[in-house]
Structure 1
Amino acid sequence: MSSNETIIRVDNIHKYYQVYDKPNDRLKQFIVPRFKKLIGQEGAKYFKEFKALNNVSFEVKKGETVGIIGRNGSGKSTLLQMICGTLTPTQGEIETRGRIAALLELGSGFNPEFTGRENVYMNATVLGLTTEEVNDRFDSIVEFADIGDFIDQPIKTYSSGMAVRLAFAVIAHVDADILVIDEALSVGDAFFVQKCMRFLRKFMENGTVLFVSHDTGAIINLCQRVVWLDKGEIKMIGEPKDISKEYLAAMYISHQDGTAPMSATNKNRSTVGLEQNSEPEDVKDMRLDFINTTQYRNDIEIIKFDENSEGFGSGGAVINSAHLLDENGERLAWVVGGENVTVRIECTSNTYMTSPIVGFLVKDRLGQHLFGDNTYLTYLEEPVHIAEGEVFVANFQFRMPVLPMGDYSMTVAIAEGSQQGHVQHHWMHDAIVLKSHSSSVSTGLVGVPMKKIEMTSL
């Protein structure tokens, strides 16, 4: 298949349902029209017709990632089920090419009475794998799901998060051409979501993805085109940023009696280094003392460093630990957004290093890069030399941004060389997880301290 070849074609799709006011109306509808037809009379209808989808048409090219957005009840899930073949259109045609793997409703495709092991074999077989292929990949599927001994327990004993883990692990190993994902990644812990996002971004390099989400940030970050469904019909198809703006405007207006929305986007990228020669002006939000006495205080829980985090590297140096410290150098289990912190990364060299680079990166649950930095520019003119077997640390001092509520992760790494060309000695995904429990941020990916805010009449 060429990259311009259509892999999904949805042509004039309609999906209607019969809605009955009373149970006996269903029986009447079954009997009366047939009787009237026998005597040559027009049969009455005892139902109302609900149009879940009406005249929906679009195409998806091979290698595209297409988002589908819309309010609850707009027909998103119905459309995905028809593309996957679990629902039949009332009218119209759907054509797909290649193997489709779908993650729709929680636990869909699983038999709750079967064990996880049995469901893996059943689900993977339905998706086109042979028993021999499942045997070869079973250990990898179990490792990806990371549900331990529950693999031999019935699915009905699983939490929703465990069911999603197993379902995603299966679709990640079936060599699909098309992935269909319907909001399922909103369930699960931060470590697993980050693992899924890494797989998804890798798959998107060559595969085709249909991604349903209410999160316009995710749509903008992941998708190349967006289909906006509204009341079963296509409202717009276009660029993610353009469609998301229109969608958010429509959502605001519908909730504010037609009042036009006011919006603000606060984004921050922290730039920090080691032992900077000149100290930047310390900007503290003048509202912070007040905010920290209210429910809007940005309480961020710090899940301690995981030395067994997934990662990669040549092994020329290894990361021993990473911690967040307060101004007194004490390790933090909690931090408040807007306060001064230090990220301390301890490493050991396994070889003589002439230009080490240590850095960190904070990502949200979708894997979007929020802020971070490394030591390269600080020591560009006078590189640090590290002897073989030497233990060394990198400290990054900065004011913690205010994070919206949710899960975040910190990746830490050590390399050697330059920004453009370097050897990656040790990269640790999700070495630290941050959980923001409350926040004053209502818009944007992060909040930045405001030095001054004024409102005056003229």
Structure 2
Amino acid sequence: MSSDFAIKVTNVGKNYQIYDRPHHRLLQMLPGNRRQWFRDFWALQDVSFSIGKGETVGIIGRNGSGKSTLLQMICGTLTPTTGSIEVNGRVAALLELGAGFNPEFTGRENVYMAASLYGLSKEETNAKMADIIAFADIAAFMEQPVKTYSSGMYVRLAFAVIAHVDADILVVDEALAVGDAFFTQKCIRFLRDFMQTGTVLFVSHDTAAIVNLCSKAVLLSQGKIAETGTPKEVTEHYLATLYAADQDVTGVSRKQDGQEEASEALADVKPDAAGFGTGDAKILGVRLLGQDGEPLTYVMGGEDVMLDIRCAVYRDIVGPIIGFQFKDRLGQVIFSDNTFLAYRDDPQQVAAGTELTARFEFQLPFLPSGDYSISPAIAEGTQEAHIQHHWLHDAMIVRVHAASACMGLIGVPMKRVSLRQATDRKS
């Protein structure tokens, strides 16, 4: 087996036979039967990719896209119908809630059972038991059956086990979604340490987690690979598919009969900016202005600025929502806002052929020096239920210069910094 990869998936497919009635299974097995009583359902089809040692790869996709099926085949709990999967190293997996533990066993008994499945002897598990219990932080419940555990307690114990079995590859499927904030941060710290030497396959619907943790991402759609690339590119594609599933979302070059396309002189967005939406409205321009109304070539943290987003409306709409995301170079959203709350009690009616401009006035946070992007959007409806007319990825790049040192995602201006010394009065 080659040592260049941790996981290699080659032309993998998984087929299930679907029967409409229970007795059709029996009819299918009868001797001399010439009729096919089932229909084929391919949960995965022709999936190929490889993961190098030390890589952290995110798998993302809508429910039913085949993510969990793929992970189960990589972990060996399912067998591919077609193709092959090669795994180089010990795999520890945290799949759907409920997998791997016996609900009648106590927490301690399940630790022994799970560790043995990963190849640890009872003596090795005994040596790690104290660390596992400390990581899970549920010592008071270790002698109770896990069927009495909450979902959070269950995940705590399951994650604690895979964190201590000396695995080469970790497979994590949406496990952190049910943990509390303190435990989630503990898991993230562990994952970041593990990523220094190990391989991680991470599945989540949280695009921010994919962007933040992964070096590469794979988008699954209807059982096939739709895209493989950087986390930023793949999550943007995934976001577009979410809207496309429920709306007539394509490009935004659409115009109504008798209307001319907006003048190129007005379009100051990036010429190659990618986007999606129904096309019933379109982002024309994005400008970042100083308090004097002049466009800014760069901005400083803490500076008062104005952001203008200009849109063309191609059909009558009620309740337009114009908003934006301000993202760093990794695609992480630093902050965002929109017009919905300002006009929630007085939805605007906008006629076709109107040009609509939203202005946001705010103080820019203190940010590390570098390039940032602004992604604007125009929709119609409410925060909870809306139609996306145009979402434009990275329409504008903003250069930020830090006025002072900023070591995190944002800097917080200190009102006062002081040192106080006290002498030892006993001396």
Q: 1:378 to 1:7 in 2, by over 3 A?
A: same
Residues 214-363 of structure 1 mapped to structure 2, 5 A cutoff: 214-258=205-249, 260-261=276-277
C-alpha separation in 2, matches of 1:15 and 1:281: 55
Aligned to 2:202: 211
Q: 1:61 to 1:153 in 2, by over 3 A?
A: same
Q: Give 1:77's match in structure 2, choosing from 49, 57, 68.
A: 68
C-alpha separation in 2, matches of 1:253 and 1:151: 46
Q: 1:199 to 1:24 in 2, by over 3 A?
A: same
Aligned to 2:8: 9
Q: How far did residue 43 of structure 1 move? A: 2.6
Q: How far did residue 8 of structure 1 move? A: 0.5
Aligned to 2:111: 120
Aligned to 2:421: 387
Q: Secondary structure at the match of 1:163?
A: helix
Offset from partner CA, 1:248-283 (integer Å, 9 cap, x none)? 112222222226338999xxxxxxxxxxxxxx7899
C-alpha separation in 2, matches of 1:258 and 1:294: 25
Q: 1:28 to 1:199 in 2, by over 3 A?
A: same
List 4+ stretches of structure 1 deviating above 6 A: 262-265, 280-284, 292-295
Q: 1:293 to 1:55 in 2, by over 3 A?
A: closer
Q: How far did residue 148 of structure 1 move? A: 2.7
Q: 1:96 to 1:292 in 2, by over 3 A?
A: same
C-alpha separation in 1, matches of 2:233 and 2:209: 14
Offset from partner CA, 1:124-169 (integer Å, 9 cap, x none)? 1111111111101101100110113211000100011100000000
TM-score by length of 1: 0.58
Matched, 1:22 2:13: no
- Letter aligned with residue 115 of structure 2: A
C-alpha separation in 1, matches of 2:229 and 2:406: 35
Residues 154-165 of structure 1 mapped to structure 2, 5 A cutoff: 154-165=145-156
C-alpha separation in 2, matches of 1:257 and 1:281: 40
Q: Secondary structure at the match of 2:238?
A: helix
Aligned to 2:57: 66
Offset from partner CA, 1:314-349 (integer Å, 9 cap, x none)? xxxxxxxxxxxxxxxxxxxxxxxx9xxxxxxxxxxx
C-alpha separation in 2, matches of 1:56 and 1:389: 69
Q: How far did residue 227 of structure 1 move? A: 1.1
Q: Give 2:94's match in structure 1, choosing from 95, 103, 107.
A: 103
Q: How far did residue 92 of structure 1 move? A: 1.1
- Letter aligned with residue 180 of structure 2: D
Q: Secondary structure at the match of 2:65?
A: coil
- Letter aligned with residue 387 of structure 1: Q
C-alpha separation in 1, matches of 2:304 and 2:12: 58
Offset from partner CA, 1:214-261 (integer Å, 9 cap, x none)? 111111111111111111111111111111111211222222222633
Q: Secondary structure at the match of 1:257?
A: coil
C-alpha separation in 1, matches of 2:227 and 2:202: 16
- Letter aligned with residue 215 of structure 1: D
Q: Secondary structure at the match of 2:116?
A: helix
Q: 1:282 to 1:128 in 2, by over 3 A?
A: same
Aligned to 1:271: none
Q: 1:63 to 1:158 in 2, by over 3 A?
A: same
Q: Give 2:191's match in structure 1, choosing from 181, 186, 200.
A: 200
Offset from partner CA, 1:417-437 (integer Å, 9 cap, x none)? xxxxxxxxxxxxxxxxxxxxx
Q: How far did residue 291 of structure 1 move? A: 5.7
Offset from partner CA, 1:82-138 (integer Å, 9 cap, x none)? 000000011111110111000001131000000000000100111111111110110
Q: How far did residue 388 of structure 1 move? A: 5.7
For the 8 Å contact 1:360–1:374, the answer to whether it is kept is no
Aligned to 1:309: none
Q: Secondary structure at the match of 1:181?
A: strand
C-alpha separation in 2, matches of 1:200 and 1:170: 14
Aligned to 2:258: none
C-alpha separation in 2, matches of 1:56 and 1:244: 19
Matched, 1:43 2:34: yes
Aligned residues: 292
For the 8 Å contact 1:107–1:167, the answer to whether it is kept is no
Mean Cα deviation higher: 188-197 or 237-246: 237-246
Offset from partner CA, 1:334-368 (integer Å, 9 cap, x none)? xxxx9xxxxxxxxxxxxxxxxxxxx999xxxxxxx
C-alpha separation in 1, matches of 2:119 and 2:247: 48
Matched, 1:130 2:121: yes
For the 8 Å contact 1:107–1:164, the answer to whether it is kept is no
Percent sequence identity over matched residues? 58
Q: How far did residue 294 of structure 1 move? A: 8.8
Q: Secondary structure at the match of 2:85?
A: strand
C-alpha separation in 2, matches of 1:147 and 1:66: 30
Q: Secondary structure at the match of 2:218?
A: strand
Q: Give 1:173's match in structure 2, choosing from 164, 167, 179.
A: 164
Q: Give 1:184's match in structure 2, choosing from 171, 175, 187.
A: 175
Aligned to 1:54: 45
For the 8 Å contact 1:76–1:212, the answer to whether it is kept is yes
- Letter aligned with residue 22 of structure 1: R
Q: 1:198 to 1:54 in 2, by over 3 A?
A: same
Q: How far did residue 191 of structure 1 move? A: 0.5
For the 8 Å contact 1:8–1:61, the answer to whether it is kept is yes
TM-score by length of 2: 0.62
C-alpha separation in 2, matches of 1:252 and 1:170: 38
Q: Secondary structure at the match of 1:67?
A: strand
